[in-house]
Structure 1
Amino acid sequence: MLVGDGKIIEISGSIKSSNEIEIINLPKLTLLPGLMDAHVHLIGNTDLKG
């Protein structure tokens, strides 16, 4: 993932590196958006249709 000015610029498996880019390798971690609610309940209200 390429980030610039605090925003995601590109998501790719082959971003070209340069002297201006810092590469951080995190192969076993999961990236979540900052405002994502990771605490959800997928069961409970059975009235929902969809």
Structure 2
Amino acid sequence: MTVHTIAPGQARADYSYTLDVVEPRSWTATATTMDISVGGTVSVDGGRITWDG
């Protein structure tokens, strides 16, 4: 799974899935876009970047 922000307040998740239980598996690629909200604060403490969500 890969998630990218595509616009303020929106993210796109790209992923693949299979319903096969034995090899060779066939995979289906798909994507979905969703609304997100991000909160929290970012700070630097002793040279280390931290996020407090």
Whether TM exceeds 0.5 here: the answer is no
TM-score by length of 1: 0.20
TM-score by length of 2: 0.20
Greater relative contact order: 1 or 2 (C-alpha under 8 angstroms, separation 6 or more)?
2
Q: Which has the higher strand share?
A: 2
